[in-house]
Structure 1
Amino acid sequence: MADQQRTIYLTAEGLQDLKDELHFLKTKERSRIADEIAEARAKGDLSENAEYDAAKEEQGKLEARITKLEDTIARSRVVNEDEVDTTKAYILSDVTVKNLATDAEQTYTLVSEQEADVSQGKISVESPIGKGLLGKEVGDVVEIKVPAGKVKLEIVGLDRSLG
């Protein structure tokens, strides 16, 4: 349960995205699902009403997502880019690494779990690579256990992301 109380660090943009999603779910989606339930209820016998069951299940999933978003927003702290140490890899750092086995270079932006998007090069500080890079400096070599085995990465560049 320690995870329930952990502060979640987000960019201002990331926090706003969560607030926008929460607002949409509470206003538009709740209303839409309530209408679906009312429509299905009007069709009669609820014991054999698949539309009613589906709408109630969707309502349960929606309420769970709303609860999760409310919790995340309540525990969030916006990271002030002026507070980010640019000499070490931390949240909001752009970290360029070289895979020592392949000589391939890759740049990752370290972000919160909620903002991670591998297709955009944004990796979570909770991921194996993200955890392995945290607090490291240019020139450091880290060995990180990944699903395919272990990978050795050298940090060849650090920059601060502006979100």
Structure 2
Amino acid sequence: MEQLTEQDVKKIQDEIDYRRLVYRKQALEAVKEARAQGDLSENFEYHAAKKDKNQNESRIRYLERLLKNSKIVKDRSKLDEVGLDNKVTVYLPEDDEEEIYKLVTSIRGNSLKGYISTESPLGKALMGQKTGDCVTVRVSDSYSYDVVIKNIDKSTDEKDDTIRKF
């Protein structure tokens, strides 16, 4: 069962509404225009438009299923603890580096942007910890590493957070 915040649910519903009310009409119009160009067997525009329309419908179904099979979660961390939607600065002694991560639900996880899921090994290890704590992150039975929590930013700016694609 997927865990979503209330903001996740709103973003998903907004995307569903956009795809149904705006994008669906555009995709259907593109299919009609391409169909009017003649022979469908060799009509690249028609096949591309159909594929785009089908991908839109598939995304709508995926998002609806996601909402139906999810559980709403809230951040219950204390002011001095790492929690959901917090930015955490950690020091990695093994690499002698500092990195900043934002802990998010798995539907918003994007390691390239520094958004890590609370379900990931690092996310699980950081949740509930405090500034100054040294935390062991268990990746597998044979590998783990330590991180030191340097700072916890409780601000919740979500304007750049997006719902993951397929």
Shorter-chain TM band = 0.7 to 0.9
Alpha-carbon offset, residue 92 of structure 1: 2.7
Amino acid at match of 1:35: E
The answer to whether the Cα contact below 8 Å between 2:121 and 2:137 also exists between their aligned partners in 1 is no
Shift of 1:66: 0.9
The residue that corresponds to 2:2 in the other structure is: 7
Secondary structure in 2 matching 1:97: strand
Structure 1 pair 100/11, CA: closer, same or farther in 2 (3 Å)? farther
Contact 2:134 2:146 in 1 (8 A): no
Structure 1 unaligned segments of length 5 or more: list them: 1-5
Distance between the aligned counterparts of 1:85 and 1:72, measured in 2?
29
Instruction: Compute the displacement of 1:26 (Å).
Output: 0.8
Out of 30, 40, 49, the residue aligned to residue 43 of structure 2 is 49
> How many Å separate the matches in 2 of 1:91 and 1:103?
26
Residue of 97, 101, 108 corresponding to 1:115: 108
> Share of identical aligned residues, percent?
31
Where structure 2 has 5 or more consecutive residues not aligned to the other structure, the ranges are 158-166
Is the contact made by 1:109 and 1:161 (CA closer than 8 Å) also made in structure 2?
A: no
Equivalent residue, structure 2, for 1:27 = 21
In structure 2, what is the Cα distance between the partners aligned to 1:75 and 1:106? 33
What TM-score does the superposition give when structure 2 sets the normalisation length?
A: 0.72
Tell me whether 1:59 sits opposite 2:57 in the alignment: no
Structure-2 residue corresponding to 1:3: none
Task: Work out whether residues 93 and 159 of structure 1, in 8 Å CA contact, stay in contact via their aligned partners in 2.
Answer: yes
Alignment TM-score, normalising by the size of structure 1: 0.73
In structure 2, the CA distance between the partners of 1:128 and 1:86, relative to structure 1 (3 Å rule), is same
Does 2:87 align with 1:131? no
- 1:64-83 alignment to 2 at 5 Å? 64-81=58-75, 83=76
**CA–CA distance in structure 1, aligned partners of residues 68 and 79 of structure 2:** 28
Q: Distance in 2 between matches of 1:132 and 1:99?
A: 14
Structure showing the higher helix proportion among its residues: 1
